[in-house]
Amino acid sequence: MKYETILQEIYIELKSLSITGNLTTSIPELSKVNPDKFGMHISTIDGQDFGIGDSNEKFSIQSVSKALTVALAFSFLDEEIWKRVGVEPSGSSFNSLIQLEYELGIPRNPFINAGAIVIADMLVTHLENPKQDFLDFIRMISGSPTIDFNLKVAQSEKDTRFRNAALTNFLKSFGNIHNDVETVLDFYFHQCSVEMTCKELAHSFFFFANEGKTKAGVQVLTQSQVKRLNALMQTCGFYDESGEFTYRVGLPGKSGIGGGIAALFPKNFVVATWSPRLNKKGNSELGMNALELLTTKTGMSVF
């Protein structure tokens, strides 16, 4: 069966689901989004591209960006980054401070907020113009020079920053933030505010499925490095629902509270979904269903 047909089937089946989730309330600017948006885009390694629904509409990628910042940090620091952040599932909420206290400021993994903030701190240290350089990086890997921050969203995150400010100060009290708290948070809020379409997001993640090479052929990471980051997305990409996503979908991926998910089948395809209604764990309810249908219908999962 062709991917085009499969996406159309999924689209129809999803319409019959009764969805109970709501928009995130944690960032006021994001609660203005139409909750009933749904888009899905698949890009295969052999060059096919199919989208459906609102797949060409921009949305806030939020924490999906954490996979991209860790990839960028990994590209110049390699295994060094694991001195300051772990590779284990956290077993707790995305913004929990509890483990951090028991584990003396070393976040469990780079996909929970604490870990992503440590990665942000690494980028602030290593990049000359951190925000611009990160923007250039994602424009390059996605092949979309128009991708940009949404400054209203970044500001909205800053205005409601208290939990993330708590995390960053807490990390700094353990010596695991090297730059100013404000500078790191500013970078982090901008990184989360990036907007992409499903198509752009799928293209941004292309190198994870393509042994480290972007759609345009740029080698961003080695084959071994992407394998490791894919492994990490598998165990940690969905906060305390990572096990559930792995169990139901069986693909490495990363979610965001804007309702986006990027997932991939190594050497085969990348897929991005967007639907802003979230389940209790903060992951896109329709997105998870769409991806479960995809692996069920194609029989393509890593397991």
Binding site for a second copy (CB under 8 A): 86-92, 96-99, 101-102, 108-109, 161-163, 165-170, 172-173, 181, 223-224, 226-228, 230-232, 234-236, 240-244, 246-248, 250, 252, 266, 296, 299, 301-303
Q: Distance between CA atoms of 110 and 119, rounded to whole angstroms? A: 7
Nearer to a second copy, 46 or 79 (CB): 79
Nearer to a second copy, 166 or 218 (CB): 166
Nearer to a second copy, 18 or 224 (CB): 224
In whole angstroms, how close is the CB of 49 to a second copy at the nearest point? 23
Nearer to a second copy, 41 or 172 (CB): 172
Nearer to a second copy, 48 or 173 (CB): 173
In whole angstroms, how close is the CB of 251 to a second copy at the nearest point? 10
The percent helix, strand, coil of the chain (3-state, each to 5) is 50, 10, 35
Nearer to a second copy, 105 or 143 (CB): 105
User: One-letter amino acid identity for 199?
Assistant: K
In whole angstroms, how close is the CB of 91 to a second copy at the nearest point? 3
In whole angstroms, how close is the CB of 100 to a second copy at the nearest point? 8
In whole angstroms, how close is the CB of 260 to a second copy at the nearest point? 21
φ, ψ (nearest 5 deg) of residue 82:
-75, -5
In whole angstroms, how close is the CB of 222 to a second copy at the nearest point? 12
